[in-house]
């Protein structure tokens, strides 16, 4: 039987989340750090540990069948691969930044400026789409120090919290791209590999959904049930169970993590009590 070759980052910001995702999908990685390849014991997959920059090329050439990496690298490398699923971690953005004391006058500011970056492909695409003529200074790291040492007038770099820009006296002025970790796949997988891949993607979606949702239980007076049901759309309709105490019932439902606090406030206003919120292990629809 064939095995799906999955490339993940060897060591870096994506490694731990990538390993955890596979683990949550029931794929046990037997070997620890220091190896380049390992076999999953209980799933037809081999894992390759690579530098993230190499993953798009290896997937295009089918050295690996699929890979997990940042969208920014996928677009930067511009290889012929499919983006199969967004994974919701390693969220960041590729932005242009200039010294804090300089007044920003709009995209034209960058005309005839020198911009340091390790994302020359995405930057030059942005510049030509906006008719800006600037010089790109390609660096492989420590881009944020370039303006301070006189190497560039601006930078184009990955920003997450913004503290690196802040520490280096820079202000973020334009976001070129929002990025998160994604799964990419080779375009010519045979049927057998596609079958393994669809099994994996099914599990990944279940894990993602469980991370994005919480299970909620609460008690409420029966008279408030309709209003509470409208606050809790749930997967289908909420489960409503009678309580021993007359006139009261218990409601169970699923809420999305992102609007969770707003819903809790609305529920309390509607008369809900004893609210319990529980993480979901797996969510299969
Ligand atoms: O060795 P290898 O080539 O595999 O790894 P790498 O060093 O090229 O990449 P790595 O591990 O640093 O990042 C992998 C991916 O994580 C990136 O391609 C992004 O998709 C994503 N990611 C998420 C980030 C960040 N957040 C991030 N904050 N990548 C880099 N940074 C850096 C950024 O370059 C800057 O120096 O962190 C600094 C900014 O962070 P804040 O929080 O101060 O704004
Ligand atoms: Zn890299």
pLDDT tens, 232-275? 876 667 899 999 999 999 999 998 888 888 889 999 999 999 99
CA distance 144 to 148: 8
Instruction: Indicate whether 194 belongs to any domain.
Output: no
Instruction: Indicate whether 285 belongs to any domain.
Output: no
Pocket test for ligand 1, best of 8, 9, 10, 13 (most atoms within 8 A of CB): 13
Instruction: Indicate whether 43 belongs to any domain.
Output: yes
- Asked if residue 98 and residue 151 are part of one domain, the reply reads yes
- Asked if residue 185 and residue 80 are part of one domain, the reply reads yes
Write down the pLDDT at residue 32.
62
Task: Give per-residue pLDDT as tens, 93-147.
Answer: 999 999 999 999 999 999 999 999 999 999 999 999 999 999 999 999 999 999 9
Nearest ligand to the CA atom of 13:
1
Its pTM stands at: 0.91
Task: Specify the residue with its C-alpha closest to ligand 1, atom 33.
Answer: 158
Instruction: Indicate whether 254 belongs to any domain.
Output: yes
- Asked if residue 83 and residue 97 are part of one domain, the reply reads no
CA 253 / ligand 1 centre spacing (Å): 37
Average pLDDT estimate for 77-84: 98
| Closest-CA residue to 256 (of 236, 232, 273, 239) | 232
- Asked if residue 100 and residue 238 are part of one domain, the reply reads no
Write down the pLDDT at residue 233.
74
- Asked if residue 185 and residue 79 are part of one domain, the reply reads yes
What residues contact residue 99 under an 8 Å CB cut-off, 6+ apart?
147, 169, 170, 171
Which of 138, 155, 189 is the C-terminal boundary of a domain? 189
- Considering the chain, what is the average pLDDT of its residues? 94
Write down the pLDDT at residue 35.
76
Q: Band of the pLDDT at 22, cuts 50, 70, 90? A: very high
Write down the pLDDT at residue 232.
85
Pocket test for ligand 1, best of 7, 36, 71, 92 (most atoms within 8 A of CB): 92
State the total domains in the chain. 3
Write down the pLDDT at residue 235.
63
Average pLDDT estimate for 19-28: 94
| Closest-CA residue to 11 (of 43, 34, 40, 38) | 34
Q: Would you tell me how many other CB atoms lie within 10 Å of the CB of residue 285?
A: 6
Helix (H) or strand (E) holding 120: helix 120-129
Task: Give per-residue pLDDT as tens, 202-229.
Answer: 999 999 999 999 999 999 999 999 999 8
What is the domain-level CATH number for residue 35? 3.40.190.10
Write down the pLDDT at residue 30.
73
- Domain with 254 in it: 213-279
Q: Band of the pLDDT at 28, cuts 50, 70, 90? A: confident
Average pLDDT estimate for 186-206: 97
- Asked if residue 185 and residue 218 are part of one domain, the reply reads no
Q: Band of the pLDDT at 198, cuts 50, 70, 90? A: very high
CA distance 189 to 171: 44
Instruction: Indicate whether 271 belongs to any domain.
Output: yes
Write down the pLDDT at residue 31.
64
Instruction: Indicate whether 116 belongs to any domain.
Output: yes
What is the domain-level CATH number for residue 250? 3.30.70.120
Instruction: Indicate whether 247 belongs to any domain.
Output: yes
- Asked if residue 28 and residue 162 are part of one domain, the reply reads no
Instruction: Indicate whether 82 belongs to any domain.
Output: yes
CA distances from 165 to 135, 159, 174, 276, 284 (A): 21, 8, 13, 40, 41
């Amino acid at each position: 039987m064939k095995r799906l070759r999955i490339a993940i980052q060897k060591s870096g910001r994506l490694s731990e989340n990538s390993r955890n995702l596979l683990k949550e999908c029931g794929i046990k990685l037997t070997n620890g750090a220091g190896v380049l390849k390992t076999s999953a014991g209980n799933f037809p997959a081999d894992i390759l540990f690579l530098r993230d920059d190499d993953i798009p090329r290896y997937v295009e050439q089918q050295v690996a069948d699929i890979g997990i990496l940042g969208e920014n690298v996928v677009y930067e490398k511009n290889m012929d691969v499919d983006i199969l699923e967004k994974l919701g971690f390693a969220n960041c953005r590729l932005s242009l930044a200039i010294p804090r004391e300089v007044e920003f006058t709009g995209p034209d500011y960058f005309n005839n400026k020198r911009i340091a970056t390790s994302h020359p492909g995405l930057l030059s695409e942005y510049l030509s789409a906006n008719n800006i003529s600037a010089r790109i200074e390609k660096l492989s790291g420590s881009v944020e120090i370039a303006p301070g040492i006189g190497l560039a007038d601006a930078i184009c770099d990955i920003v997450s919290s913004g503290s690196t820009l802040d520490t280096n006296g820079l202000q973020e002025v334009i976001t070129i791209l929002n990025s998160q970790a994604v799964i990419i796949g080779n375009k010519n997988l045979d049927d057998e590999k596609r079958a393994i891949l669809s099994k994996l993607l099914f599990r990944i979606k279940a894990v993602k959904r469980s991370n994005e949702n919480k299970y909620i239980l609460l008690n409420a007076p029966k008279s408030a049930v309709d209003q509470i049901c409208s606050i809790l759309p749930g997967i289908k309709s909420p489960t409503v169970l009678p309580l021993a105490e007359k006139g009261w019932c218990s409601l169970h439902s699923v809420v999305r993590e992102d609007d969770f606090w707003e819903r809790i406030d609305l529920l309390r206003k509607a008369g809900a009590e004893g609210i319990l919120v529980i993480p979901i292990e797996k969510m299969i629809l």
